[in-house]
Amino acid sequence: MQKELTLDTVETLVPSIVFAEGGVEDVVSRLEAYVRALPLDATTEKGRKHIKSVAYDVARSKTALDNMGKEVQESAKAIVDRVNADRRVVKNRLDTLRDEVKAPVVEFEQREAARVEGHQIAIRDIEALARFDFAPDEATVSARQSELERIYGRDFEEFKERAKVAFEQSGVSLSAHAEAAKARRVQQEEAERKAALAAEEERERLEAERIAREERIAQEAAERSRVQAEQAAQAECERLEREAQAAIAREQVAAQAMKEAQARAEREKVEAARRAEEEKERAVQAERERVAAEKRQEEAEAKRRAADKAHKSAVNNEALLALVEAGASESVGKAIVTAIVLGKVPHVSIHY
């Protein structure tokens, strides 16, 4: 870093040295000491211009140092990005290498787990063959015994003793189920034989009762036919009389219904006209209220805009007054305020 540091030599500094540890503090402290040691006199026109020039050079020095900081930051970011990319390469490739090295063990463990699980499932299947949720018949038990014999030829390796116990227990249980199924079948066949004999005896008894009942029914039917014929003739006469009376009553009811329908239609017409008029009045009132609301909103918005304009004008006038007091002419001050309001002066704004 240069031995002597002034506002004119800031731009010659090396960014990496300025932003090294303690560098910024050293530069800023030396600039503060240099500027504060300058002879500044605000009582003369020349002195005031000199002060403004020094302030401008301080601002330029700030911008130069800030730009140096950005350069150092961008350089450091590039280094960080490269290191992060290298770290991703290290992680991905070494993870792949780890999985590649470990793959034979993983494959062996998976095969071993599948082998053990296969033996355990087969033993559970052997045990399940002897379990029933119902009373099985002989065919079902025989099928289970055949399945047990088929599994018997399997090599259970280290599970051989456990499989042997399961085979023995299931075999004994299936034999017991087979004997019980046979006993149930014999018992069922005997019950069916007895039921068949009883059913035949009951059929013969019912047949005799049926013949006697049919003879009685035939006699009763002949008598009912005679009585029904007489009753039917009487009923037909009565029916014709009722229909004639009903026809007269229906005509009377139809005439009364017609009168009532006409009266109801007239009432509904009057009611519909009344509802239409009410709807029209409500629509007119709603439109009046909407127009009044819009007018109130427009008046409020106009008042707000006027107040905002007055507030901004007052703020702008205060800023202009400050510029004039700082030495600017009124025309120049107005131009500066206008430029700030229009956003044409970087890093400067007016807070309303």
Look at residue 289 and tell me whether its pLDDT is greater than 50. yes
Mean pLDDT (the chain) is 84
Residue holding tokens 């090295």? 101
pLDDT digits over 210-221, tens only?
888 888 887 877
pLDDT band at 122 (very low <50, low <70, confident <90, very high): confident
**Does 19 map to a domain?**
yes
Residue 247 lies in a domain: no
**How many Å apart are CA 247 and CA 253, to the nearest integer?**
10
Whether 142 is in a domain gets the answer no
pLDDT at residue 220 in the model: 78
Maximal CA-CA distance, the chain: 152
Q: Report the pLDDT value the prediction gives residue 46, as an integer from 0 to 100.
A: 92
Eight-class DSSP state of 157 = G
Mark which of 73, 105, 137 sits at the end of a domain.
105
Question: What length does the chain have?
Answer: 352
Spatial separation of the C-alpha atoms in residues 320 and 340, rounded to whole Å: 11
- The confidence score (pLDDT) of residue 26 equals 87
* Structural domain count, the chain: 2
Q: Which helix (H) or strand (E) holds 153?
A: none
Residue 272 lies in a domain: no
Tell whether 238 is covered by a domain.
Answer: no
Tokens 């036919």 sit on residue? 225
Q: Does some domain include residue 42? A: yes
Show which of 105, 129, 152 is a domain's final residue: 105
Task: From 88, 105, 122, give the residue that closes a domain.
Answer: 105
Q: What is the mean pLDDT of residues 13-27?
A: 86
Please give the model's pTM, rounded to 2 decimal places.
Answer: 0.35
- pLDDT bin (cut points 50, 70, 90) of residue 49 is very high
By residue range, what is the domain housing residue 336? 312-342
What six digits make up the tokens of 338? 């206008």
Does residue 78 form part of some domain?
A: yes
Is 54 within the bounds of a domain? yes
pLDDT band at 52 (very low <50, low <70, confident <90, very high): very high
What pLDDT, on the 0 to 100 scale, is given for residue 3? 55
What distance in Å separates the CA atoms of residue 96 and residue 138, rounded to the nearest whole number? Answer: 60
